[in-house]
Amino acid sequence: TVPALMAGNTVVLKPAQLTPWSGSEYGRIVAEETDIPAGVFNVVVSNANEVGAALSADPRVDMITFTGSTATGRAILAAGAPTVKKTLLELGGKSAHIVLDDADFGSALPMAAMMACVMSGQSCILPSRILLPRSRYDEGIEVLKNMMENFPVGDPWTPGNMQGPQISDTQRQKVLGLIRSGIDSGARLVTGGGIPENLPVGYYTQPTLLADVDPDSQVAQEEIFGPVLTVTPYDTDDEAIAIANNSIYGLSGEVSSADVDRAFAVATRMRTGNVTFNGKSHFGINSPFGGTKQSGLGYRNGEEGYKEYLDAKTIGMPDTAAS
């Protein structure tokens, strides 16, 4: 919303149905703590899909920007098509983490496990597909297993806990269903796979590690949005890149290696909008962030992101300089 306001637009913010508080508080701060005129920034909270659909279809709305699932993004595009509405979409992801055979497993893999569990795995940029070199496969599985088995799960208000519940029971059931589908398709359950016995209240899910995952299986292809890592072995860099690119999504990715040039060569061949190297974040206010394939349209941040909220205009004027 900030780039849109900076570019001189009026904004209507509609928070997600299950997470309205942050958007509402944002609206209060703008109203009470800034000199932005009334009506320039608006927050509309609703538990009905009709509000989003109405905004997407209304000809008075010049642009829609949305963060969420690819399915909802398709619906927004369809609703805005009759008015050829400009649309900025940040959608789903199924990112791959290519761990090369010269990587520091003691650094890369604990971080990968932590990223899968914090926010309960509910992150569109989560590199949830771990690709390990076959020569070090068992070593990598053991590091991930130890980290995920001991990850602190529980009430996020309790100091020390790092993974809370899923956003809803519906989401938890989806996560558990995808875990079952992975096992049914031949994946090996290393740890987790269910509901923590000590947390019967709340939508908690055990940190889950699936090994020997078929890269074409549902659990390897569909965004889970839960604390689940899938692990697949590879033999060559080319094979790892092919597996990483075997997805309808292209939002993020990661490469771990001791060789900067080798990692860069791999990263440039990954069909994704953003790549992290050895845990070095690619996020920054000056860095464009966007996805390829079905992970979205357009960019946030950077000059590219700012320009999304502007329309270019060319005006031809007569030459007033007499010759």
Catalytic positions: 90
Are the beta carbons of 133 and 99 closer than 8 angstroms? yes
* ∠ Cα 217 221 222 (to 5°): 115
Q: Is 137 left (phi over 0), alpha (psi -120 to 50) or beta?
A: alpha
- The single residue listed with the structure tokens 């394939």 is 293
For residue 119, the 8-state DSSP code is G
**Which are the contacts of 13, defined by CB distance < 8 A and separation ≥ 6?**
1, 23, 26, 27, 41, 42, 43, 44
Q: Is 322 left (phi over 0), alpha (psi -120 to 50) or beta?
A: beta
Q: Which of 14, 89, 23 lies closest to 55, judged by CA?
A: 14
